[in-house]
Amino acid sequence: MEKEDLNLEPVLLHGERDDLSPGLSRRSFFMAAGAAGVGGAASLLGGTAARAQSTDWTQPGNNNGVIELQKTTGSMVEGDVAIDYYGHCALKFTSPGGATVLFDPFRDDPSGAWGMWFKSEFPETPVDICMSTHTHFDHDAIHRPVSTMVLDRMVGNFEFADLKITGFADKHACVAPGWYSWTDALAEFGANACPPDNVSHMDMVVYLVETGGLRTLIWGDNRHNPPEEFWEAVGEVDILTLPVDGSMHILSYEMGDAIVERLKPKVVIPTHYLNETTSYTLTTLQDADEWVTGQKSYRMLDNGSLSLNAGEVAGMDREFLYFGHNALTA
């Protein structure tokens, strides 16, 4: 969607502008889309629906590389795992065998209700697999990467080349711990954010990626206190991504610290913070500097790419690797 297409007009619940389409008020759209998901609601929106439909059939390239890589499925290849940060929660992993998977590409909220978050559209970066943890706009632009496969909210097991990915169904954080009570906005529109009767866009999938001898947990916007069976199913984690920023939008410092203490990962990668390369102050997010510099051991990375090896990671203990304002934009 082009920036000029965004509706930045004030949202009136019962006024003249509440005219999205016959039978669908701004309020009902918000209840369906809630804190940023569009999901099925977009299909009711006339012109917006056309833009929301998949354009994957126009993608350049083809699946020749995937055909080659699938011949190696089940093998585990030793070597470096490359991690590229595209800002917010968007991370691309490249396995030692050359398979690529990208998590949580972002977009601005197509309803306009949550305003402009991102400085540009998510890059049309080529990957084998694109995955999303949940249907909120800052995680669900699965149409943007040029990907052979799209695994949206996948629960269960997936194996391809030297990648093994497991999806664990759980729930989104449903009580904002910081000053910005964004979860209260859902209540104002009559949507129940918290389980067990939460609206569907507050469902979450946490992913475990196994490749190169490393187990990486993609936390998404998950709640800090999943049930015991969640922790048991996840098991050991080498690399943990966590959504912690200075505004404590998803998790507070204490919640993040408690998850780190519970999982004792060797590496922690902060996500979902204000990254000046990709996101606007309008996100209400702040950077994660304070949380990171309060840790026992951390490294400020000087670019958006990281390469980790299982042997090197084995010697680390809760080492925070922080991308800061670096991010790839293409």
List the Cα angle 271/273/277 in 5-degree steps.
100
Q: Is 179 exposed, middle or buried (0-12, 13-18, 19+ CB in 10 A)?
A: exposed
Residue 224 binds to Fe ion (criterion: CB under 5 A) = no
Using the minimum distance from each CB to Fe ion, give the nearer residue, 81 or 202. 202
Q: Which of 109, 138, 162, 245 binds Fe ion (CB under 5 A)?
A: 138
Q: Which of 162, 170, 221, 257 binds Fe ion (CB under 5 A)?
A: 221
Establish whether the linkage from the previous residue to 196 is cis, with ω within 30° of 0: yes
Q: Which of 26, 136, 144, 266 binds Fe ion (CB under 5 A)?
A: 136
Q: How many CA atoms lie within 13 A of 86 on its CB side?
A: 27
The Cα-based distances of 197 to 167, 174, 183, 193, 203 in angstroms read 21, 12, 15, 8, 10
Using the minimum distance from each CB to Fe ion, give the nearer residue, 59 or 284. 284
Q: How far is the CB of 9 from Fe ion (least distance, A)?
A: 24
Using the minimum distance from each CB to Fe ion, give the nearer residue, 205 or 214. 205
DSSP state letter for 17: T
Q: How far is the CB of 251 from Fe ion (least distance, A)?
A: 11
Question: Could you tell me which stretch among 60-68, 90-98, 131-139, 276-284 binds Fe ion (CB under 5 A)?
Answer: 131-139
Q: Strands, E, within 75-160: which ranges?
A: 81-85, 91-94, 100-103, 126-132, 146-152, 156-160
Amino acid in position 155: V
Question: By CB under 5 A, how many residues form the interface with Fe ion?
Answer: 3
Q: How far is the CB of 240 from Fe ion (least distance, A)?
A: 17
Q: How far is the CB of 137 from Fe ion (least distance, A)?
A: 8
Q: What are phi and psi of 8, to 5 degrees?
A: -105, 10
Q: How many residues does this entry show for the chain?
A: 330
Show the site string, 172-211: x = touches Fe ion by CB under 5 A, - = not: ----------------------------------------
Question: Could you tell me which stretch among 103-111, 132-140, 289-297, 312-320 binds Fe ion (CB under 5 A)?
Answer: 132-140
Residues in contact with Fe ion by the rule CB under 5 A: 136, 138, 221
